[in-house]
Structure 1
Amino acid sequence: MIALRSSAKLNLTLEILGRRPDGYHELRSVVQTISLWDEIVLRSAEAPARVSCNWPELETPDNLCLRAANLLAAEAGVGDGVHVELTKRIPLGAGLGGGSGNAAAVLIGLDELWELTLPVGTLRTLAVKLGADVPFFLTGGGAMLEGIGERIAPVDIAAGWVFVVAQGGRPVSTAAAYAAYDRRPTPSRTDHERFLRCLRDSDIDNAARMFDNVLEPAAVAVCPEIAELKNALLRQGALGAAMTGSGSAVFGAFPSEEQAVRACAALRALAPLVQVAHPTPRGVERTS
Structure 2
Amino acid sequence: MVIKLKSRAKINLSIDVVGKREDGYHLVEMIMQSIDLYDNIQIEEIKEDKIIIQSENKNVPLDESNIMYKAASLVKQKFNIKTGVKINLHKNIPVAAGMAGGSSNGAAVLVGLNNIWNLNLREDELMDLGLSLGADVPFCIMGGAALAQGIGEKLTKIKGLKDTHILICKPNIFVSTKDVYTNLDMSKVRKRPDTQMLLDYINKEDIKGLCTNMENVLESVTEKKYPVISEIKNKMIKYKALGSMMSGSGPTVFGIFDDYEKGQYAKENLKLIHEETYLVKPYGGGIEIER
State the TM bucket, normalised to the shorter chain.
over 0.9
Contact 1:169–1:226 (8 Å) recurs in 2 = no
| Counterpart Cα distance in 2 of 1:265 and 1:127 | 37
| Counterpart Cα distance in 1 of 2:191 and 2:44 | 45
Segment drifting more, 138-147 vs 182-191 = 182-191
Residue 218 (1) aligns with residue 182 (2): no
Contact 1:236–1:263 (8 Å) recurs in 2 = yes
SS in 1 for 2:152: coil
Residue aligning to 1:283? 286
Residue type at the aligned position of 1:165? I
Equivalent residue runs for 1:1-288 within 5 Å: 1-45=2-46, 46-56=48-58, 57-182=60-185, 185-186=188-189, 188-288=191-291
Structure 1 residue 282: deviation in Å? Answer: 1.4
Structure 1 residue 188: deviation in Å? Answer: 4.5
Residue type at the aligned position of 1:50? I
Q: Deviations over 1:230-286 (max 9, x none)?
A: 111011111111000000000000011111111111212221111101011112111
Normalised to the residue count of structure 1, the TM-score between the two structures is: 0.96
Q: Deviations over 1:206-236 (max 9, x none)?
A: 1111111100120112322111111110111
Residue type at the aligned position of 2:14? T
Q: 1:188 to 1:68 in 2, by over 3 A?
A: farther
| Counterpart Cα distance in 1 of 2:247 and 2:53 | 28
Contact 2:123–2:142 (8 Å) recurs in 1 = no
SS in 2 for 1:262: helix
Contact 2:160–2:284 (8 Å) recurs in 1 = no
Q: 1:267 to 1:79 in 2, by over 3 A?
A: same
Q: 1:181 to 1:74 in 2, by over 3 A?
A: same
Contact 1:132–1:148 (8 Å) recurs in 2 = yes
Structure 1 residue 158: deviation in Å? Answer: 3.2
Runs of 5+ consecutive residues of structure 1 not aligned to the other structure:
none
Residue type at the aligned position of 1:29? M
Where does structure 1 differ by over 2 angstroms across 4 or more consecutive aligned residues?
Answer: 119-122, 182-185
Structure 1 residue 72: deviation in Å? Answer: 1.1
| Counterpart Cα distance in 2 of 1:120 and 1:164 | 30
Q: 1:120 to 1:283 in 2, by over 3 A?
A: closer
Q: How many matched pairs?
A: 288
| Counterpart Cα distance in 2 of 1:47 and 1:90 | 30
SS in 2 for 1:77: coil
Structure 1 residue 184: deviation in Å? Answer: 5.8
Structure 1 residue 185: deviation in Å? Answer: 4.7
Residue type at the aligned position of 1:129? S
Residue type at the aligned position of 2:180? A
Residue type at the aligned position of 1:12? L
Normalised to the residue count of structure 2, the TM-score between the two structures is: 0.95
SS in 1 for 2:115: helix
| Counterpart Cα distance in 2 of 1:171 and 1:137 | 21
Contact 2:198–2:213 (8 Å) recurs in 1 = yes
Residue type at the aligned position of 1:13? S
Residue type at the aligned position of 2:71? A
Residue type at the aligned position of 2:103? S
Structure 1 residue 121: deviation in Å? Answer: 3.1
